[in-house]
Amino acid sequence: MTPTRLLSTTKHILQCLGTSLCDHGLPLPTATFKNELELLRLMMEERSTPEEIERMNREWKKNLEAFTVEQKHAFNTICDSVFNVRGKMFFINAPGGTGKTFLETTILSRICSENKYTLAVASSGIVALLLPKGITAHLRFKIPINIFDITTLYVVPKSPMNVVQE
């Protein structure tokens, strides 16, 4: 066991006991180890089996035939960015029922069929449920959303939301 790993393990044990490494005159583990460990855990969660890879390969090819012109353009643009390591971010926005989930699921299948890692992230739990291995953004990226027993939503009087509420 490396010193960093030993320190990291000891740190967690001591935290459970209500104390810390500093309390015992020990140095903190390097941040690199923690980040590498988190990345490894994430990669293990997102890894696809050979059977899943084969299924996804069939799925994206079949779905491609049903795409609209706009979906095909988005699919090609996003996949080109992924496979040519262009490092771009994309936001898919369209009215309900226009095939956003179908497009995203197909993109995820295409990327996973090449045994690459993907993170299916959505803004709501309902959408996350529709995506393969989907998860909400606030959970995946640890975005703090503090809700308490006394948390309320303030609706401005005479606003459109107030009319809906009445």
SS (H, E, C) 17-65: CCCCCHHHCCCCCCHHHHHHHHHHHHHHHHCCCHHHHHHHHHHHHHHHC
Q: Using CA atoms, how far apart are residues 57 and 128, in angstroms rounded to an integer?
A: 21
What average pLDDT score do residues 53-81 get?
96
What average pLDDT score do residues 87-108 get?
91
Give the model's pLDDT for residue 129.
Answer: 93
pLDDT at 106 over 80: yes
pTM beyond 0.85: the answer is no
pLDDT at 32 over 70: no
